[in-house]
Amino acid sequence: MLFCLANIKFIEILIPIIIGIAYITLGERKILGSMQRRKGPNIVGIYGILQPIVDGIKLVLKENIIPQKSKYIYYIIAPILTFILSILIWIVLPFNMNIILNDLNLSILYILAISSLSIYGILYGGWSSFSKYSIIGCLRATAQLISYEVSLGIIIMSIISINGNLNLLETLIFQLYIKNIFIFFPIFILFFISILAETNRTPFDLLEAESELVAGFLVEYSSLIFAAFYLGEYSFIFFMSALTNLLFFGSFPGGIYDLGNISTYFFVFLFIWIRSTLPRLRFDQLLFLGWTIILPSSLALLLFYLSIIFVFY
């Protein structure tokens, strides 16, 4: 009975997430079109609202071409692993006081662990494709995600040091009187830059750099297995936007269940806005930013907040 209830609750969370991801892709195309002075999707349905459904059907019907020299098992496992991790990361996120699949005491640690494991999907995909572009893409992924994962962990440690726990629900309760954004504004800036790098978005999209690597680790993928990678990427973007809203603004990520709360979608909009505005960094600039600016700054801020705790408590 409990197992059936858990499954129902998981489906209740999963379906809105999938629908939200699909319409984030439509929103991105519309926003980019507007910023580039063009219309974007506007034919399928009213104002192109059915475009994500048509895109999904198109990907299902496309032929799945597997390179002859690829490592077949890993080639198939990579997108499945990425998609599964992108869904599993949601189970500890409280949508409101009643809708949370698993209220772990170590939910922040769980999120860091899942986001770290996501690199394996990219590595398997790039290496197993047996293409020079995909291999370069997955090598870049390793360096980039490791560089910014360290900074992200230290940034979150600053929040933990003040809030005093690793539970997301407790972090929300801590912000009843004062929001973390007022205490941790410098941390918020570093956090947002780090999640841009973690989700491989512009200006840190060197894994899929079109002008250099055609499509990077995705270059040999098509059909449903490409769609799994695509959904995984946008799921992580959606989740990181919801997490930013929760950690710094102390509100439930009600962009899914509460249309009055638009802050989650505001951060999704920022991801898209930055994509249309900023040029891609060179790879050496990306590593320089991560190791010589973001990491020392996050360490300095962690020591600053720890010193405040030591002095006043």
Q: What is the pLDDT of residues 251-268, one digit of tens each?
A: 776 544 454 367 888 888
Span 228-245, average pLDDT: 87
The pLDDT score that the predictor gives to residue 309 is 83
What are the distances in angstroms from CA 152 to CA 252, 263, 271? Answer: 21, 21, 17
> Whole-angstrom Cα distance, residue 243 to residue 19?
18
pLDDT value at residue 188: 92
Which one has a higher pLDDT value, 11 or 107?
A: 107
Res. 6 pLDDT band, cuts 50 70 90: low
Q: Name the pTM for this structure.
A: 0.87
- For the record, the structure tokens of 106 come out as 């170590």
> What's the pLDDT tens digit per position in 44-75?
878 878 888 888 888 888 777 777 777 778 88
* pLDDT beyond 50 at 141: yes
239 vs 261: CA distance, rounded Å: 15
**Could you give the CA distance from residue 67 to residue 62 in angstroms, rounded to a whole number?**
15
CA 207 to chain CA centroid, nearest Å: 15
What would the pLDDT profile of 74-97 be if each residue is shown by its tens digit?
888 888 888 888 888 888 888 776
% of the chain with per-residue pLDDT over 70: 91
Residue 111 predicted with pLDDT over 70: yes
Domain ranges, ordered by start, for the chain: 67-312
Average pLDDT of the chain is: 82
Q: What is the 3-state secondary structure (H, E, C) of 30-50?
A: HHHHHHCCCCCCCCCCHHHCC
pLDDT at 98 > cutoff 70? no
Contacts of 193 (CB under 8 A, 6+ apart): 289, 294
Q: How many CB atoms lie within 10 A of CB 101?
A: 18
Q: What is the pLDDT of residues 17-30, one digit of tens each?
A: 788 888 888 888 88
Compute the average pLDDT of residues 218-247.
Answer: 85
Alpha helices in the chain (DSSP H): 2-35, 51-61, 72-88, 107-128, 132-163, 168-174, 180-183, 185-198, 210-213, 223-249, 263-277, 283-289, 295-312
Q: How far is CA 224 from CA 14, 57, 61, 154, 232, in A?
A: 18, 10, 9, 37, 12
Amino acid at 31: I
Cα–Cα distance for residue pair 192/202, rounded to 1 Å: 12
